[in-house]
Amino acid sequence: MALIVQKYGGTSVGTIERIQAVAERVIATRDRGNQVVVVVSAMSGETNRLIGLANQIDKKLSTREMDVLVSTGEQVTIALLTMALHAKGADARSYTGAQIKMLTDNIHGKARIKDIECDNMQNDLAAGNIIIVAGFQGVDHDGNITTLGRGGSDTTAVAIAAALKAHECQIYTDVDGVYTTDPRVEPRARKLDRITFEEMLEMASLGSKVLQIRSVEFAGKYNVPLRVLSSFEEGEGIGTLITTEEDEMEQAVISGIAFNRDEAQLTISGVPDQPGIASQILGSITEANIEIDMIVQNVGEDGTTDFTFTVHRNDYPQAIELLENTGKKLGAKKVKGNDSIVKISIVGVGMRSHAGIASSMFAALAREGINILMISTSEIKISVVVDEKYLELGVRTLHSEFGLEQKTA
């Protein structure tokens, strides 16, 4: 008998009718011979309703009390889903985060899970119960209610799957899986049957926002097979399975094309090439809490260096002002910026064992006349910065170049 952990988000449990539909799906999973633990979010709109009440009181609220308040949202859902299962004749029991002793640190609003007590759940499963757990919430060592931050229900599900050594953790969403790229940009984008944890992390952080990044990290760390699938489909083996690298996956060199529209590029050139120059250049930017994405440094011939980095487009005006001040202090030749650029990345574990991926990528872009403004590489990812007008053309060119529209795995 396999143990399956399923997670349903706020939209999937947004009305009584949808909760009843989830109950049917859960029973169908059980009837296929599985033990089932279900993690749920608050009904869609409920968390915002609660925050709205709090905001009428004050804008600067105690995070401890905020957690007491918003954690009621998931508690309502677990009770209603358990009732819906009972109404359909299934044995089920609900648990709050406190009741399964989902122990976290005490950082209210963005707590991190430290431990889970599995005895209650294991006894209930053995007795034939379906278990319904409130996502997103835990307790600290002193019994204070904590929350994992928005979207934390994915992490709850993965943590429970890891603790119970589940066969699979299924995350139900409103998309039917992870795609080779955004279908709105490349209509020939194809749903992936499998992807590795590492690839998913690169895809997610680059803008394919299907899953909470922390839940993917967690799943990778504890090796919990993670499946993303749609609440509107039925069956086994559907969606996209995120798992460790396996032999059969090696055929796909590139798994997907990620992109990010909201980038801006800043360059400071002709600064002295000496130890510590990078931290002097970036110091004022990071002190202003501006997050830096790509960083590239070229060494020139005359003992000076050029330094280019990207930030979120919203932070561009402040960043360029700070960099101009830094440029004056350091005696830089020039400071310039560009806030109409995008980043396109190819991601794939296969590139580790295949030479020539980068040159194929650059050649394909060159054939379409797309000028590359910046390049950054990691072990399983190559990113380029191009003018924003080339976003769609660039994504489609690379999607085709690496044969992503064809099923390879």
Binding residues, by number, are: 7-10, 47, 74, 173-174, 179, 184, 209-210
Known binding-site positions for ATP: 7-10, 173-174, 179, 184, 209-210
Contact status: 56 vs a second copy (CB under 8 A): yes
Q: Are 344 and 310 in contact (CB under 8 A)?
A: no
Contact status: 111 vs a second copy (CB under 8 A): no
Give the number of residues in contact with a second copy, rule: CB under 8 A.
36
Contact status: 167 vs a second copy (CB under 8 A): no
Q: Which of 26, 38, 78, 206 binds a second copy (CB under 8 A)?
A: 78
What is the nearest approach in angstroms of a second copy to the Cβ of residue 98? Answer: 6
Q: Report the residue number, 140 or 198, with the smaller CB distance to a second copy.
A: 140
Contact status: 119 vs a second copy (CB under 8 A): no
Q: Which of 1, 33, 57, 235 binds a second copy (CB under 8 A)?
A: 57
Q: Report the residue number, 148 or 264, with the smaller CB distance to a second copy.
A: 148
Q: Which of 76, 238, 295, 375 binds a second copy (CB under 8 A)?
A: 76
Q: Report the residue number, 87 or 366, with the smaller CB distance to a second copy.
A: 87
Residues that bind a second copy (CB under 8 A): 16, 19-20, 50, 53-54, 56-58, 61-62, 64-66, 68-69, 71-72, 75-76, 78-80, 82-84, 86-87, 93-94, 96, 98-99, 143-145
